[in-house]
Amino acid sequence: MKYKNLGRSGLSVSRLCLGTMNFGPQTDEVTSHSIMDSALSNGINFFDTANRYGGPKFGWTEEIIGRWFAQGGGRREKVVLATKLYGEMNEWPNNKWLSALNIRRAVDASLSRMQTEYIDLYQMHHIDRTTPWEEIWQAMEVLVAQGKILYVGSSNFAGWHIAQAQGAAAPRNFMGLISEQSIYNLAIRDIEREVIPASLECGLGILPWSPLNGGLLGGVLKKERDGKRRLEGRSKETLDRVRDRVESYENYCGEIGHEPGDVALAWLLHQPAVTAPIIGPRTQGQLDDSLRALTVELSNEQLAKLDEIWPGYKTSPEDYAW
């Protein structure tokens, strides 16, 4: 396993991050624990979750992680633990968004569910347009001083939100954000316009979620032909819209001798702003498949061909102006 500092921080994390969103609703607790054990044995030290994961039973996923930590064996000490807050946990007021009150309540609830004394990376799951940055940073500073969190990250922020957050943190002599978690993959590259440039300028590491774009980049056409996967609804509509590109992509992956999912993850690992793509295995087999990407080296020629199949964006304003 290779490791990289998360953004400008001194925190060393594995080049793949274990996403746990499926633990509970899709993957039972015994299997979830087995996957976490396997991830750790393969050197993955970076685990990501959120307080709403496990819905409709919010907090279920954090509870599963907590019972895994409780087994001991150095599990907690070996893991860089990331969770998130923002979404509504119940219908009562002040149990959502990023008010100082909700930040205080949410972190204590997550710590209790995960049976730990601290969270390594506490992430805001979405921008809060109703709470001033002075309030947010004051609340986060208190948590750092109390030893409940060590670092702060964002998720689903625009580039100007990142700049705004860092601008408000600097006068307080507070480190601010060290990471941004965004949807980013070969097929969806919108963050190349402004989020990635802002992150690079402000020293944030990018943590891409949905690295296979919901399976679209994971060999979906071959699985469809083999009868292993049948897409419906929005997923089918998306595939129908870009079927020619997906076909060209899968054919090219065959030419260079790699599975499509491995190439999609490897491409992200070749992007300079990316620290660790977030993989979300439902099964042990899916975790094993993801690990193969760490051995895939893509040449400049191959990267150029992938850009030809899945065009990206220039940095703004050059993307749309001279």
In a domain, 31, yes or no: yes
Percentage above 90 pLDDT, the chain: 95
Give the pLDDT of residue 237: 86
* Strand ranges (E), the chain: 3-5, 12-14, 17-19, 46-48, 80-85, 119-124, 149-155, 177-183, 205-209, 278-279
Contact 159, 197 (CB under 8 A): yes
In a domain, 314, yes or no: no
Measured CA to CA, the distance from residue 5 to residue 84 in angstroms comes to: 20
Residue 279: phi, psi to the nearest 5?
-95, 145
| pLDDT, mean of residues 83-87 | 98
Say whether pLDDT at 227 is over 90: no
Is pTM beyond 0.85 here?
Answer: yes
Q: Within 193-298, where are the H helices?
A: 195-202, 220-225, 233-256, 260-269, 284-291
Top pLDDT among 159 and 228 is at 159
Measured CA to CA, the distance from residue 65 to residue 114 in angstroms comes to: 6
CATH number, domain containing residue 146: 3.20.20.100
Which of 165, 145, 153 is closest to 121 using CA atoms? 153
Cα–Cα separations (whole angstroms), residue 119 to 60, 100, 150 = 17, 17, 7
Which of 111, 160, 106 is closest to 133 using CA atoms? 160
Number of domains forming the structure of the chain: 1
In a domain, 123, yes or no: yes
Give the pLDDT of residue 19: 98
Residues 270-319 pLDDT 10s: 999 999 999 999 999 999 999 999 999 999 999 999 999 999 999 999 99
Residues 229-248 pLDDT 10s: 766 667 788 899 999 999 99
In a domain, 317, yes or no: no
Of the candidate ranges 24-38, 83-97, 202-216, 232-246, the one whose mean pLDDT is the lowest = 232-246
In a domain, 158, yes or no: yes
- Residue 61: strand, helix, or coil: helix
In a domain, 319, yes or no: no
Within 10 A of 269 (CB to CB), how many other CB atoms are there? 21
Say whether pLDDT at 228 is over 90: no
Residues known to be catalytic: 53
Residues 112-145 pLDDT 10s: 999 999 999 999 999 999 999 999 999 999 999 9
In a domain, 288, yes or no: yes
Percentage above 70 pLDDT, the chain: 98
In a domain, 320, yes or no: no
**pLDDT category of residue 69 using cuts at 50, 70 and 90:** very high
Measured CA to CA, the distance from residue 152 to residue 86 in angstroms comes to: 13
Q: Which structural domain, as residue segments, surrounds residue 69?
A: 3-309
Contact 13, 46 (CB under 8 A): yes
Contact 281, 290 (CB under 8 A): yes
